[in-house]
Structure 1
Amino acid sequence: MSKRVLIVDDAAFMRMMIKNILTKNGYEVVGEAENGAVALQMYKELKPDLVTMDITMPEMDGIQGVKAIRAVDPNANIIMCSAMGQQSMVMEAIQAGAKDFIVKPFQQDRILQAVERVLSRG
């Protein structure tokens, strides 16, 4: 059975990019959310194996999203996605419970490497 992924990013083109990379490599994208609040609801319903979470989003940002999802499921596998120059936020995300992070602009290999590493640990 393929691993199920929830993609969270306020930019539709970013979600599409990640979705294309993952589906092409055998992962099942079970949902897409545009902020942490929507992601939390979808996480509860879909129970994905992995979440990719953008940091900067309206309503509920990625760090709040990580904390909210981890409050529901302490074992949640979450990978943060951030633009260059957000190192302090990345550290905050890791402390909040994210298991890895990838930097935009995305490299396909880096996404797959992070996803495989987190899922093999999970």
Structure 2
Amino acid sequence: MSKKVLIVDDAAFMRMMIKDILAKNGYEVIGEAENGIEAVEKFDELKPDLVTMDITMPEKDGIAAVKEIKSKDPNAKIIMCSAMGQQAMVIDAIQAGAKDFIVKPFQPERVLEAVSKAIE
């Protein structure tokens, strides 16, 4: 059975890139969200096996969304996505409960490695 993934990023292009990498490798993308508020709503609604979460987004950032999701579901598996140079934010994200992080621009091998590690 394919693992279900929710992709959260305010940039449609980035969502499309991750979706493409995951779909080609047997993962099922069951939803997308553009900000942290949508991310929490979709997580509750769709119950994905994994969430890829951008850090910098409007309305509610990825770190706040991770904290909210983890408070509802301590077993939630979340991988953060960040642009280069956001190391401090990545540390915050891991402390908030993220399993791993991937850096933009996405390298397909790294995305798949992080996803399979988080899900297994």
Report the TM-score, using the length of structure 2 for normalisation. Answer: 0.99
Name the SS of the counterpart of 2:30 in structure 1.
Answer: strand
Pairwise CA RMSD of aligned residues?
A: 0.4
Identity over aligned residues, as a percent?
74
Q: Matched residues in 2 for 1:73 and 1:116: separation?
A: 20
Q: Which residue of 2 aligns with 1:107?
A: 107
Q: Which residue of 1 aligns with 2:35?
A: 35
By how many angstroms is 1:72 displaced? 1.1
Name the SS of the counterpart of 2:22 in structure 1.
Answer: helix
Equivalent residue letter for 2:114: A
- List alignment gaps of at least 5 residues for structure 2: none
Q: Which whole-Å deviations, capped at 9, do the CAs of 1:88-119 have from their partners, x for residues lacking one? A: 00000000000000001110000000000011
Name the SS of the counterpart of 2:79 in structure 1.
Answer: strand
Q: Matched residues in 1 for 2:108 and 2:84: separation?
A: 16
Name the SS of the counterpart of 1:75 in structure 2.
Answer: coil
Name the SS of the counterpart of 1:105 in structure 2.
Answer: coil
1:1-122 correspondence runs (5 A): 1-120=1-120
Equivalent residue letter for 2:8: V
Q: Matched residues in 2 for 1:75 and 1:99: separation?
A: 10
Q: Matched residues in 1 for 2:29 and 2:85: separation?
A: 28
List structure 1 runs of 4+ shifted beyond 3 angstroms: none
Give the count of matched residue pairs. 120
Report the TM-score, using the length of structure 1 for normalisation. Answer: 0.98
